[in-house]
Amino acid sequence: MAKRLTIQALKQIICLGMVVIVLAPILLTLFAALKTKADMATTSPLLLPPLERITFENFKEVLTDKYLLIGFRNTGIILVVSLVFNVLFGTITAFIIERFDFFGKKLVVALFFVGMLIPTFVTEIARFRIIQGLHLYNTLGAPIIIYVASDLMQLYIYRQFISGISVALDEAALLDGCSYFGLFIKIIFPLLAPATATVCIIKAITIINDMYIPYLYMPKNTLRTLTTFLMDYANAQQGSWQLLAAGIIVIMVPTILLYIFFQKYILAGVAAGAVKE
């Protein structure tokens, strides 16, 4: 009994420690964003300033920056277009692989997974030349093409889901005169809603948080995303840590809200389809 209580207490301590590790940087950044420049120098970073000196001017200054609105617009466009094509190509490809036999199928599947194993930086030079050759450099098309083509995670998730859908549904629909296109649109795709939610959430968080691809392929000021806006803002606000902290919080909010509201779909979607009966 004592041993079990000790193990339970140890588990609780470890969990609390992990929560502190995750939340501490966010809280410290929030505390800094609520301080004046004078309070940044005189108060502990672990503490909020006195209530009467808490200020929201840092957030006001960040939110009135014209490039922040540009960042939201560009990130939104990239996000929506990338997700649409990821879902479209992912579902169709997974359906074909899982439901049809064709010459070279095993090779195609193997090549997909080899592509997932190759580190991105190994192919960066070739990818950069391709983007330039397509005349997409310094356009919103560059990150969209990369996000759609370079990440095959959605293919794995959709294949797991489709493999758990009974083939009897396909046979019944085909016997009733449904075409393969109708089968996919009317039966398979609606059943993939949990997988689609999972793919969209995971991909959205990845795209919103990515700084490398927008910075490398879209250096133009009018093509800033939220992450490149924050990087340029940090360079412009050297020494103004309270303004930088406010910028970080503003950029962080969409991702945090997205995860809080849809975390159950992430966990359920990844787990579902992994076990076959």
Given a cut of 50, whether residue 276 has pLDDT beyond it is: no
What pLDDT is stored for residue 82 in this prediction?
Answer: 93
The mean pLDDT of the chain is: 83
Q: Is 222 exposed, middle or buried (0-12, 13-18, 19+ CB in 10 A)?
A: exposed
* 275 pLDDT more than 60: no
Of residues 186 and 42, more confidence is placed in 186
pLDDT in tens, 22-46: 888 888 888 888 888 887 777 777 7
109 vs 41, residue with greater confidence: 109
Highest mean pLDDT of the ranges 20-34, 45-59, 76-90, 101-115: 76-90
SS in 3 state form for 10-26?
Answer: HHHHHHHHHHHHHHHHH
Q: Helices marked H in the chain — which ranges?
A: 2-33, 37-42, 57-63, 66-99, 105-117, 124-133, 141-149, 153-163, 167-175, 180-183, 189-191, 193-209, 212-217, 226-236, 241-271
Query: Both tokens of residue 170?
Result: 């396909």
Identify the CATH number of the domain defined by range 65-271: 1.10.3720.10
Whether residue 176 has pLDDT greater than 60: yes
144 pLDDT above the threshold of 90 = yes
Please answer whether residues 59 and 33 qualify as being in contact, where contact means their C-beta atoms are separated by less than 8 angstroms: yes
pLDDT of residue 277: 46
- The average pLDDT across 121-132 equals 85
Instruction: Determine the residue type at 230.
Output: L
- Is the pLDDT confidence value at 136 over 70? yes
Percent of the chain predicted with pLDDT > 70: 92
For residues 128 and 131, what is the distance between their CA atoms, to the nearest angstrom? 5
More confident residue, 118 or 87: 87
Where are the CATH 1.10.3720.10 domain residues in the chain?
A: 65-271
Query: pTM for this one?
Result: 0.81
Residue 142 has what pLDDT?
Answer: 92
- pLDDT 10s digits, 207-264: 888 888 998 999 888 899 988 888 887 776 666 788 888 888 888 888 788 777 766 6
* pLDDT at residue 74, rounded to an integer: 94
